[in-house]
């Protein structure tokens, strides 16, 4: 995190920076996991539904002398230890002895990068022999038993946004239709306009998703005569759902449908518009009842055409559910959106800005007219294609973030107070070979007030 004159920017979703609301993609190698430990008898914990909770406590009777833990990581590249011993995902740990009193069992998850670590502490208090009867703690109770071993039932939902699913199946979705994958497998759903004909409804067994384009004032925009959802540049998307895993997140992405992809992705010229690639619009929190509702902005930088809105969340069984809905991005009829852009390159394996890159960014910021309003900035990072793909997303995201940090500092030096939204995304490998692939594309869209 860095800043000047009170300006701050961080690679975390929904933070405010120099008057800009920043939305970024999380690094794909961050650890996310659930812990499920079979119970006999059950060890009850308090709140086990918050992904931000890292400490859990409960109590057992004095007759319970040991426990086991079975961790499951949702990121296949993450590793996990229980009480200091490495345990394979979905495997049960060795028996852990419980002394009388407090017993802290650390569960440590390490991301693929080897440095991102999250520790979860499970504390089980074993009653003294004189306790008898029953004991309680951490929001639950247990029943004494002669069984000398017990396990806790603890579920920690995955945290952080899910990655977009961009493949031929999801890109081929046409306006008015939808494709849903559960665990990567297509599933049968019903797709139809809602009863007000101001949005699309996608439903399956035990779950439902509603999507609608919104006007500038936030109210739903009606479908067109063909039943197509049309979303105007700079307006928004409203999403609501039911039947999702409690206290997880639903991540909303947008990317071009295959019929327009060639029009928005050229290889070399600065006139390309990679801003139309997979873009995280925002995250909505799923409540304890498995529902969510909210809206996210659609940036001015998107080029009009056929697009796919994708809502990624978790089923109650913690499988990834990815719903892709076809829509049309339409141009604003009243106002004219202007765009300026530049491309900067980087040294091999480096996210650091060169002197030349800083000069290009400074020139870009100065090109924004003083009467500009509705400013939207995108910083899109890439890496040079290679056989080693382990750090493609993290390095491309770091490059995009550093470019936005420099932009943020430059914006604070302007005499006018620009307001708007900013988006950072790492796209991994670029289509270009060689040094031109080690780049960040910065696109600024604005209207004249």
260: pLDDT strictly greater than 80 = no
pLDDT at 445: 85
Q: How confident is the model at residue 432 (pLDDT cuts 50, 70, 90)?
A: confident
Distance (Å, whole) CA 102 – CA 94: 19
Fold assignment, 33-152: Immunoglobulin-like (2.60.40)
Q: Give SS3 for 215.
A: coil
pLDDT above 70 as % of the chain: 74
Q: How confident is the model at residue 32 (pLDDT cuts 50, 70, 90)?
A: very low
More confident residue, 51 or 210: 210
271: pLDDT strictly greater than 90 = no
Whole-prediction pTM: 0.58
* Choice among 94-98, 321-325, 401-405 with the minimum mean pLDDT: 94-98
More confident residue, 26 or 438: 438
pLDDT above 90 as % of the chain: 27
Compute the Cα dihedral for 77, 83, 85, 87 and give only its sign: negative
Those residues with Cβ within 8 angstroms of residue 304's Cβ, 6 or more apart along the chain or in another chain: 233, 328, 329, 330, 331
CATH of domain 168-330: 2.60.40.2550
Per-residue pLDDT tens over the stretch 162-198: 788 888 899 889 999 999 999 889 999 999 999 999 9
Going through 257-371 in order, the beta strands assigned E by DSSP cover: 279-285, 292-297, 305-314, 320-330, 338-345
100: pLDDT strictly greater than 70 = yes
pLDDT at 429: 86
pLDDT at 161: 62
Per-residue pLDDT tens over the stretch 310-326: 999 999 888 899 999 99
Distance (Å, whole) CA 247 – CA 77: 23
79: pLDDT strictly greater than 80 = yes
**How many other C-beta atoms are found inside a 10 Å radius of the C-beta of residue 335?**
15
Q: How confident is the model at residue 336 (pLDDT cuts 50, 70, 90)?
A: low
199: pLDDT strictly greater than 70 = yes
37: exposed, middle or buried (Cβ count in 10 Å: 0-12, 13-18, 19+): buried
The answer to whether 201 and 243 are in contact (CB under 8 A) is no
18: pLDDT strictly greater than 60 = no
5's tokens: 């004159």
pLDDT at 352: 94
| Highest averaged pLDDT of the listed ranges 147-161, 293-307, 333-347, 413-427 | 293-307
pLDDT at 250: 92
More confident residue, 258 or 444: 444
87: pLDDT strictly greater than 80 = yes
pLDDT at 47: 42
Q: How confident is the model at residue 334 (pLDDT cuts 50, 70, 90)?
A: low
* Choice among 99-103, 135-139, 347-351, 442-446 with the minimum mean pLDDT: 135-139
301: pLDDT strictly greater than 90 = no
Q: How far apart are the first and last CA of the chain?
A: 32
Domains 15-26+335-448 and 33-152 share a fold: no
Compute the Cα dihedral for 237, 238, 244, 249 and give only its sign: positive
Q: What is the mean pLDDT of residues 208-229?
A: 90
CATH of domain 15-26+335-448: 3.30.1330.60
pLDDT at 360: 93
Give the CA radius of gyration of the chain: 25
Q: What is the mean pLDDT of residues 231-256?
A: 90
The domain locations on the chain are: 15-26+335-448, 33-152, 168-330
C-alpha distances in Å from residue 436, one per residue of 29, 116, 273, 317, 432: 25, 30, 16, 43, 6
Per-residue pLDDT tens over the stretch 123-177: 888 888 864 444 444 443 334 333 455 555 445 555 556 788 888 899 889 999 9
Which residue in 181, 177, 171 sits closest to 278, CA to CA?
171
pLDDT at 158: 59
Provide the mean pLDDT of the chain.
76
Q: How confident is the model at residue 276 (pLDDT cuts 50, 70, 90)?
A: low
Q: What is the mean pLDDT of residues 23-41?
A: 40
């Amino acid at each position: 995190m860095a800043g000047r004159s009170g300006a701050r920017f961080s690679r975390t979703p929904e933070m405010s920076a120099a008057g800009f609301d920043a939305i970024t993609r999380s690094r794909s190698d961050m650890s996310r996991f659930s812990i499920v430990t079979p119970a006999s008898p059950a060890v009850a914990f308090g709140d086990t539904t918050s992904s931000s909770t890292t400490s859990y406590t409960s109590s057992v009777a004095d007759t319970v002398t040991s426990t086991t833990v079975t961790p499951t990581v949702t990121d296949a590249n993450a590793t996990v230890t229980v009480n200091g011993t490495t345990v394979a995902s979905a495997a049960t740990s060795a028996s852990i002895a419980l002394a009388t009193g407090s017993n802290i069992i650390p569960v440590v998850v390490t991301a693929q990068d080897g440095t991102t670590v999250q520790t979860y502490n499970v504390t089980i208090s074993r009653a003294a022999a004189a306790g008898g009867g029953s004991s309680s703690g951490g929001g639950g109770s247990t029943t004494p038993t002669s069984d000398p071993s017990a396990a806790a039932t603890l579920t920690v939902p995955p945290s952080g946004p899910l990655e977009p699913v961009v493949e031929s199946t999801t890109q081929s979705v046409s306006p008015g239709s939808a494709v849903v994958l559960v665990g990567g497998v297509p599933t049968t759903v019903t797709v139809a306009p809602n009863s007000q004909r101001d949005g699309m409804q996608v439903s399956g067994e035990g779950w439902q998703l509603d999507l609608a384009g919104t006007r500038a004032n936030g109210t739903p925009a009606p479908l067109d005569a063909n039943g197509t959802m049309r979303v105007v540049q700079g307006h928004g998307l409203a999403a609501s759902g039911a039947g999702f895993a409690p206290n997880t997140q639903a991540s909303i992405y947008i990317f071009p449908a295959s019929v327009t992809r060639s029009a928005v992705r050229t290889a070399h010229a600065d006139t390309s518009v990679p801003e139309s690639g997979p873009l995280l619009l925002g995250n909505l929190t799923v409540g304890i009842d498995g529902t969510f509702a909210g809206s996210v902005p659609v940036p001015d930088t998107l080029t009009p055409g056929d697009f796919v809105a994708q809502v990624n969340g978790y089923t109650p069984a913690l499988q990834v559910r990815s719903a892709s809905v076809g829509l049309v991005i339409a141009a604003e009829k009243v106002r004219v959106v202007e765009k300026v852009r530049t491309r900067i390159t980087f040294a091999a394996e480096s996210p650091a800005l060169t002197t030349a890159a800083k000069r290009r960014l400074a020139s870009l910021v100065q090109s924004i007219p003083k009467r500009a309003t509705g400013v939207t900035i995108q910083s899109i990072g890439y890496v040079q294609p290679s056989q080693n793909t382990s750090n493609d997303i993290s390095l491309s995201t770091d490059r995009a973030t550093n470019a936005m940090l420099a932009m943020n500092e430059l914006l604070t030096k302007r005499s006018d107070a620009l307001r708007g939204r900013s988006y950072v995304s790492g796209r991994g490998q670029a289509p270009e070979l060689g040094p031109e692939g080690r780049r960040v594309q910065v696109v600024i869209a604005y209207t004249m007030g």
